[in-house]
Structure 1
Amino acid sequence: MTALSPARTRLALLALALGGFGIGATEFVAMGLLPDIARDLLPSLYAEDPDAALARAGLIISAYAAGVVVGAPAIAAFAARFPRKRLLTVLAVVFTVGTVASALAPTFELVVAARFVAALPHGAYFGVAALVAAELMGPGKRGRAVALVLTGLTVSNVVGVPTITYLGQQAGWRVAYLAVAAIFAATTVAILAVVPWQAGDPAATVRRELGALARPAVWLALLTGALGFGGFFAVYSYVSPLATGVTGTAESFVPWALVTLGLGMTAGNHVGGRLADSSPMRAVFLLFGGFAASLLVLILAAATVPGLLAGLFLVGASSAALSPAVQTRLMDVAGESQTLAAALNHSALNIGNSLGALLGGVVIAAGWGYLAPAWLGLVLCVPGVLFALAGWAVTRRSAPSAPAEPTREHVRVGAAE
């Protein structure tokens, strides 16, 4: 194993996080530019019925989420034996090409298709990058490695998404996507320049990787994550009407609410990584409790601006902390299918994205008010904890035959052969 200098290690980790920054931008920037996209790609429908045009334009967001759900397990299973650096480079190139295609596609249907393609590397990138980061950081730091790679995504919600959204509002949504593509191009160069060679798992096969899906504990962990993230996205998707309709702020205040939520995500992500290194299962239970408490704070205090900001910060922090805990738990229960396990967390996250946005819209449409999504998140905590308990019980029963937490990563650092 080739030892890297601390400076080289930091640069390599920064390159991996840069990819996460681009992913955060490409995933969430459409939410702020949806009216611009609808006006440009669906002009007749927008002129006739703006709400219907916005609803149809939302397929762009759904297509991206679907691409993540499909791409994460498929790419991870087929590419587990490939050298990590080479695989990350290819994934960054696909991100770049898919995002450029999203910006240049002439019709709505082609933009939707391009968003699906651009999303395919999402889960696999985070999964492989987490394995690479874990090897770079050393034993006992898997949770912190996962959190570090996810830092790019959380920081993107604070800086990247608001900035690129503003750029898109001023120069057009296509320019915004070209800016995101430039981030992915820079990520490709950075990976080639500073990420060390890491071999894949030569014993990996598609059958072995997909074998993780035969383990009940894996499915229970995925359901735990999907419900936890679903509660978060129920709130995240409707922050704007919450701020304007409940707190009584102007629309110009909404970006500050989103920045506050993003700051909470960034802080919580690192806390979750450290908790996951201690005990992933204990972290899951603790963080579900924290998430439920933060939702109660938001519900009770959202009538005032300080209360709204405090609630959003806590919701962002507790939900983001849950992600590295769930991902580390998946890696624990997946046996040798480490690449697939590390990627599946992001399938769960995007299922939660779709579930939370859908159910949040349903409770608002039912006339229950703009705090209803927060109540929904609280309700979703119950089955989330129950699935976590079931997963814990399954692994307790199968402890003699189930592998414990890996003592080594399934990646090796060495000279290119």
Structure 2
Amino acid sequence: MPFAVYILGLSIFAQGTSELMLSGLLTEMAADLGVSIPRAGLLISAFALGMLVGAPALAVLTLRWPRRTALLAFLGVFIAAHVVAALTPGYWVLFGTRVIGAFVYAGFWAVAATTALGLVPANARGKAMSIVAGGLTVANIVGLPAGTVIGQHLGWRAAFWAVAILSALAMAGVAAKIPGGRPSDVPDLRRELRTMINPRLWLSYSTTALSTGAQLVIFAYLGALLARTTGIADSWIPLVLTVYGIGALIGITVGGRASDAHPFRVLTVGTTGLIIIAAVLALTATMPVPVVILVFLLGAFGFATNPALNTRVFSLAGAAPTLATATNFSAFNVGITVGPWLGGIAIGAGLGYASVGWIGAALGIAMLATIVWAQRLQHRADRHEVEMPTQHSLAELSR
């Protein structure tokens, strides 16, 4: 595996830490900025908004740029946004830096995915994506608690400085290891847009959004479920969340190794496991030991499908992968937005925290339906490709 792929994973870790760490810093930030905790929580929504629109927009704007140039530009703006955030005394300036930082982070994700997949042969794409996306998984395990600890002991601004410094180190790695110059096949916007007409591509986006929503509807309320339904002491909740992160790291590693050869099998097994785990979690939400085991399995099966979701889009996009890959990143963020929203509706309606398990299972069933549909379309396309040369050969013989 090229070392450049690991550099991209490190870059995602640095930026992903910023994405995640606010959940552990809201109390300190609210007190320092003089706002309520719910208003401070809108800073998380600001980041989600920036990510949702950033990937396709920046993929188009930088389509003909050398990829190293684009990656360095995104990191430079990301670092500047965090320096401004660490220095500002005002809430709305901080809000703006969160949108801008997320916007370029999404652009980095889109270009990094295309770059990583272009650096390896076709039979290693899943493994490459597991390394790049694994940076976010490690951010869950290491970056989130580390950012929280730094913020609690040195102030939330110190956590922003730490992210800026870590991102600067990643920027040096990108400058040193990512190949310069334009890709041999310079992307063409019209070709990229024609690729987006493919209905199988949008079916794959639906799978991505449903997968993320099924997992995030549970993960977003996992801490509250553990405390208020399962009855686990607050001091143990970070450890249980770490167990989830370890499961996610194992799942994305195994999924990355298997998805190149068996993408639909990985998607089917991962989704089926996710459905079962979500349903059993809803049934056993009051039992600490089963819940902890299920949290580990939720991370493992949920993240196992991630590499296949990315490589599937890349293969469908063919020679025009940049915009298609970027839109898939937006599909992830649709799931990140919609999943917790559905969970909030259910909890607000008095159905309890265990209800998020049933919603996750329902979204998983919908995801499984899209996978079965996509697999049938793939078989049909494969048969068509086999039949066409055969018909051509028969026509030649008849002449």
What TM-score do you get using the length of structure 1 for normalisation? 0.86
Counterpart of 2:13 (choices 7, 11, 21) is 21
Counterpart of 1:278 in structure 2 is 261
Counterpart of 1:315 in structure 2 is 298
Once the 2 structures are TM-superposed, how far is the Cα of residue 96 of structure 1 from its aligned partner?
Answer: 1.1
Counterpart of 2:355 (choices 372, 388, 411) is 372
Determine if contact 1:77/1:205 at 8 Å carries over to the other structure. no
Counterpart of 2:390 in structure 1 is none
Counterpart of 1:361 in structure 2 is 344
Secondary structure of 1:80's counterpart equals coil
Counterpart of 1:194 in structure 2 is 177
Distance 2:254 2:280 in 1: 20
Read off the aligned partner of 2:312 and give its amino acid letter.
R
What TM-score do you get using the length of structure 2 for normalisation? 0.90
Determine if contact 1:78/1:206 at 8 Å carries over to the other structure. no
- Cα-to-partner distance string for 1:334-355 (whole Å, 9 max, x where unaligned): 2322122322332112111111
From the superposition, tell whether residues 169 and 81 of structure 1 become closer, same or farther in structure 2 (CA, over 3 Å).
same
Check if 1:341 corresponds to 2:347: no
Secondary structure of 1:278's counterpart equals coil
Secondary structure of 2:315's counterpart equals helix
Once the 2 structures are TM-superposed, how far is the Cα of residue 183 of structure 1 from its aligned partner?
Answer: 1.2
Task: Within 5 Å, give how 1:224-303 maps onto structure 2.
Answer: 224-303=207-286
Task: Within 5 Å, give how 1:16-415 maps onto structure 2.
Answer: 16-41=8-33, 43=34, 46=35, 53-197=36-180, 199-200=182-183, 202-397=185-380
Distance 1:33 1:188 in 2: 26
Once the 2 structures are TM-superposed, how far is the Cα of residue 393 of structure 1 from its aligned partner?
Answer: 4.1
Distance 1:135 1:342 in 2: 12
Aligned residues: 386
Distance 1:219 1:102 in 2: 36
From the superposition, tell whether residues 235 and 191 of structure 1 become closer, same or farther in structure 2 (CA, over 3 Å).
same
Determine if contact 1:77/1:209 at 8 Å carries over to the other structure. no
Distance 1:332 1:14 in 2: 22
Once the 2 structures are TM-superposed, how far is the Cα of residue 178 of structure 1 from its aligned partner?
Answer: 1.5
Distance 1:67 1:238 in 2: 22
- Cα-to-partner distance string for 1:300-331 (whole Å, 9 max, x where unaligned): 44433332221111111111112111111111
Read off the aligned partner of 1:333 and give its amino acid letter.
L
Superposition CA RMSD, Å: 2.2
Once the 2 structures are TM-superposed, how far is the Cα of residue 363 of structure 1 from its aligned partner?
Answer: 1.0
- Cα-to-partner distance string for 1:240-260 (whole Å, 9 max, x where unaligned): 111111221111111111111
- Cα-to-partner distance string for 1:115-140 (whole Å, 9 max, x where unaligned): 11101123332333233333444341
Determine if contact 2:75/2:105 at 8 Å carries over to the other structure. no
Distance 1:394 1:99 in 2: 45
Between stretches 274-283 and 198-207, larger displacement belongs to 198-207
Determine if contact 2:251/2:304 at 8 Å carries over to the other structure. yes
Once the 2 structures are TM-superposed, how far is the Cα of residue 202 of structure 1 from its aligned partner?
Answer: 4.5
Read off the aligned partner of 1:265 and give its amino acid letter.
A
Larger gyration radius, structure 1 or structure 2 = 2
Distance 1:386 1:71 in 2: 29
Once the 2 structures are TM-superposed, how far is the Cα of residue 56 of structure 1 from its aligned partner?
Answer: 2.5
From the superposition, tell whether residues 74 and 313 of structure 1 become closer, same or farther in structure 2 (CA, over 3 Å).
same
Q: Where does structure 2 lack aligned partners over 5 or more consecutive residues?
A: 386-399
Read off the aligned partner of 1:280 and give its amino acid letter.
P
Between stretches 110-119 and 329-338, larger displacement belongs to 329-338
Once the 2 structures are TM-superposed, how far is the Cα of residue 163 of structure 1 from its aligned partner?
Answer: 0.9
Distance 2:281 2:17 in 1: 26
Determine if contact 1:80/1:201 at 8 Å carries over to the other structure. no
Between stretches 112-121 and 296-305, larger displacement belongs to 296-305
Once the 2 structures are TM-superposed, how far is the Cα of residue 153 of structure 1 from its aligned partner?
Answer: 0.9
From the superposition, tell whether residues 59 and 207 of structure 1 become closer, same or farther in structure 2 (CA, over 3 Å).
farther
Sequence identity (%): 35
Read off the aligned partner of 2:17 and give its amino acid letter.
A
- Cα-to-partner distance string for 1:196-233 (whole Å, 9 max, x where unaligned): 33632544122322333322112111111111111111
Read off the aligned partner of 1:29 and give its amino acid letter.
M
Determine if contact 2:55/2:109 at 8 Å carries over to the other structure. no
Determine if contact 2:283/2:354 at 8 Å carries over to the other structure. no
Read off the aligned partner of 1:310 and give its amino acid letter.
I
Q: Where does structure 1 lack aligned partners over 5 or more consecutive residues?
A: 1-5, 47-52, 403-417
Determine if contact 1:32/1:165 at 8 Å carries over to the other structure. yes
Distance 2:214 2:272 in 1: 13
Between stretches 164-173 and 124-133, larger displacement belongs to 124-133
Read off the aligned partner of 2:16 and give its amino acid letter.
G
Determine if contact 2:275/2:365 at 8 Å carries over to the other structure. no
From the superposition, tell whether residues 201 and 212 of structure 1 become closer, same or farther in structure 2 (CA, over 3 Å).
farther
Secondary structure of 2:170's counterpart equals helix
Once the 2 structures are TM-superposed, how far is the Cα of residue 283 of structure 1 from its aligned partner?
Answer: 2.2
